C-alpha cells in the first residue's frame, strides 16, 4: 500500500531525469561516488558521466539535491551549484566511520528547513 502511488523505473539516469523533469519535481540524486564508478558494473557509469550529469542538472526545471563524496574533483565539476558540507556515518559492516559528504543543490536548503520549522511551530 505504501508504494501504491510509486513508479519504479529501470532507466539510465539521463533518461529518468528527462522523463520526470518539471517545475513541480524534486530530484534526489545519489550517483556512484567519485572513484567508485565501477562498483555497479562495467560501462554503466564513468568519470565523464559526472560532467554529463552536471550539464543535465544545469538545465533542470526541477529542484534537486545530490549527495556525493567530498573530493576536489567533485567540488570543481559541480562548483556552479550550492555546496553544503555535512558529516555522515558509513554503517556497512562492523565499523562506524564518520566521513565528510557534500549536498549539492540548486536551491537554498537552509532556507527551506527554516520555513518547515515555522510551519511546525504553528
Ligand atoms: C550510491 S548508489 C545509490 C544507492 C541507493 N541510493 C541505495 O540506497 O541503494 C548509486 C546508484 O546509481 C546506480 N547507477 C549507476 N550508474 C547508473 C546509470 N548510468 N543510470 C542509472 N543509475 C545508475 C547504481 O546502480 C546505484 O544504485
pLDDT band at 110 (very low <50, low <70, confident <90, very high): confident
93 falls in which pLDDT band (50, 70, 90)?
Answer: confident
Residue whose Cα lies nearest atom 25 of ligand 1: it is 40
Q: Give distance in angstroms: CA of 68 to centre of ligand 1.
A: 12
| Residue 17 burial by Cβ neighbours in a 10 Å radius (0-12, 13-18, 19+) | buried
Give residues with Cβ within 8 angstroms of 95, minimum separation 6. none
Is residue 33 domain-resident? yes
Mean pLDDT of 65-84: 97
Residue 45 class from Cβ within 10 Å (0-12 exposed, 13-18 middle, 19+ buried)? Answer: buried
pLDDT, mean of residues 63-92: 94
Across residues 63-73, what is the average pLDDT? 97
Reported pTM: 0.87
**pLDDT for residue 14:** 98
Pocket of ligand 1 (CB under 6 A): 12-13, 30-32, 40, 44-45
Q: Is residue 3 part of a domain?
A: no
Please check whether residue 93 lies inside any domain of the structure: yes
The answer as to whether 1 is a domain residue is no
The domain spanning residue 53 has which CATH number? Answer: 3.40.50.150
Give the span between the Cα atoms of 99 and 88, in whole angstroms: 6
Question: What is the whole-number distance in angstroms between the Cα of residue 39 and the centre of ligand 1?
Answer: 9
Q: Is residue 7 part of a domain?
A: no
The CA distance from 30 to 27, in Å, is: 10
Number of domains in the chain: 1
51 lies in a domain?
Answer: yes
Q: What are phi and psi of 57, to 5 degrees?
A: -60, -35
Expressed in angstroms and rounded, the spacing between residue 117 Cα and the centre of ligand 1 is 32
Q: Which of 9, 30, 42, 65 to mutate to test the pocket of ligand 1 (most atoms within 8 A of CB)?
A: 30
Domain residue limits at 26: 13-121
**Tens of pLDDT along 44-61?**
999 999 999 999 999 999
Q: Name the band, by pLDDT with cuts 50, 70 and 90, for residue 79.
A: very high
Best residue for ligand 1 mutational test, from 20, 36, 44 (most atoms within 8 Å of Cβ): 44
**Among 98, 47, 42, 99, CA closest to 73:** 47
What is the C-alpha to C-alpha distance for residues 69 and 99, in angstroms, rounded to an integer?
Answer: 9
Helix (H) or strand (E) holding 28: strand 26-29
| Average pLDDT across the chain, whole number | 91
Amino acid at each position: 500500500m505504501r508504494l501504491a502511488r510509486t513508479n519504479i523505473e529501470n532507466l539510465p539516469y539521463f533518461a529518468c531525469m528527462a522523463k520526470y523533469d518539471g517545475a513541480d519535481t524534486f530530484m534526489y540524486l545519489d550517483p556512484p561516488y567519485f572513484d567508485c564508478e565501477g562498483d555497479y558494473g562495467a560501462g554503466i557509469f564513468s568519470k565523464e558521466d559526472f560532467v554529463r550529469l552536471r550539464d543535465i542538472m544545469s538545465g533542470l526545471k526541477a529542484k534537486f539535491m545530490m549527495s556525493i563524496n567530498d573530493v576536489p574533483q567533485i567540488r570543481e565539476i559541480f562548483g556552479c551549484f550550492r555546496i553544503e558540507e555535512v558529516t555522515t556515518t558509513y554503517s556497512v559492516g562492523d565499523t562506524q566511520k564518520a566521513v565528510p559528504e557534500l549536498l549539492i543543490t540548486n536551491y537554498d536548503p537552509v532556507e527551506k528547513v527554516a520555513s518547515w520549522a515555522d510551519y511546525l511551530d504553528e
